[in-house]
Amino acid sequence: MPCYNEDDALDHFWATITPHLDALGVQWDIVFVNDGSSDATLLKLVQLHRADHRAKVVDLTRNFGKEAAMTAGLDHASGDMVVVMDVDLQDPPELLVKMVELWRQGYDVVVARRVSRLDDTQLKRVSAGNFYRVFNRISPSKIPADVGDFRLMDKRVVAALRALPERVRFMKGLFAWVGYPTAVVDYERPVRQRGMTKFNYWRLWNFALDGITSFSTLPLRIWSYLGLFVAFIAFIYGVIIIGRTLILGIDVPGYASLLAAILFLGGMQLVGLGIIGEYLGRIYSETKHRPIYLTGGLYGFAPDEGEQK
């Protein structure tokens, strides 16, 4: 459970989810990851741990982002099956019974898929749909549309995810990349009951860029083909100009068209450099080999468990 400034939601979440987990008839615990919250989230998490040791807490030294927080949770989870979900209860705990049942039938991964996005704005619905279409066209690892982070995974899937060394992490893509037999459970996503969403359109845009550049080199290839096409058009246009000059003589140059062509090609070059820069930035991040996250405290774990990855 990644947590960032969720002190308003934690008590309600704990009171809601524990009866559902007890009804499963299994031993369970919850690994909460405090992702550098600036409110009373850590204090409430520690109180939950002291009241019930099945609540375990991984406290990160600062806000590393949800992808790193999920990685920290998976690193510290030790069950035969692991569920990733949020504390805002938009991931309904009622689905856990069906997900565990499918796991017992032999599925290594059980994902929850939203059947509608009526609670989202029109802009978010359109942008999300376009992202899934674009990503699945250009990436060999296909992401099921309208499937978020809410999923159940067998311990061998978690072990495979732990073995992936990326620093710039797009977890939806990593979940899809590892594969394994997967079942889908459809559900109606309820509205958030406590707290505020931490994502805005700018963060979602950057999130989409991370996903595309992490799992496909097609944007780079497109600019190679586009450069060849522009060079071909320039060659044809040069032949036409030479022919006109030889036949009709020298004409007065068109400064407006020349300026428009220079600005257009200059803009294309800058966009191409920007795309190359996105990939170089990710290579730069990977070569530094910095930890994905650092932990400032562990509650409910053995003292010798690692503090960083």
Q: Are 10 and 3 in contact (CB under 8 A)?
A: yes
Residue 306 tokens read as 């690692």
- DSSP track, 195-257: S-----HHHHHHHHHHHHHHH--HHHHHHHHHHHHHHHHHHHHHHHHHHHHHHH-PPPP-HHH
Beta strands across the sheet bearing 109-114:
81-84, 147-154, 109-114, 182-187
Residue 276 tokens read as 């190359």
Contacts of 71 (CB under 8 A, 6+ apart): 161, 169, 171, 292, 293, 309
Mean pLDDT of 47-51: 88
Closest among 96, 256, 104, 80 to 154, alpha carbons compared: 80
Lowest mean pLDDT among 66-70, 87-91, 195-199, 292-296: 195-199
What is the sign of the dihedral through the CA atoms of 74, 108, 210 and 201? Answer: negative
Domain ranges, ordered by start, for the chain: 2-216+289-299, 218-288
Contacts of 263 (CB under 8 A, 6+ apart): none
pLDDT digits (tens, 9 = 90+) for 221-253: 777 777 777 777 777 776 777 677 667 666 556
Q: What percent of the chain has pLDDT over 70?
A: 72
Of 145 and 199, more confident: 145
Residue 103 tokens read as 């796991």
Whether pLDDT at 82 is above 90? yes
Mean pLDDT of 78-95: 88
Could you tell me the CA-to-CA distances from 102 to 26, 83, 99, 126 in Å, in that order? 15, 13, 5, 31
Q: Is 1.10.287.3610 the CATH number for 2-216+289-299? A: no
pLDDT digits (tens, 9 = 90+) for 12-30: 888 888 899 888 888 999 9
Distance CA 14, CA 12 (A): 6
List % helix, strand, coil for the chain (3-state, nearest 5): 55, 15, 35
* Cα first-last separation, the chain: 18
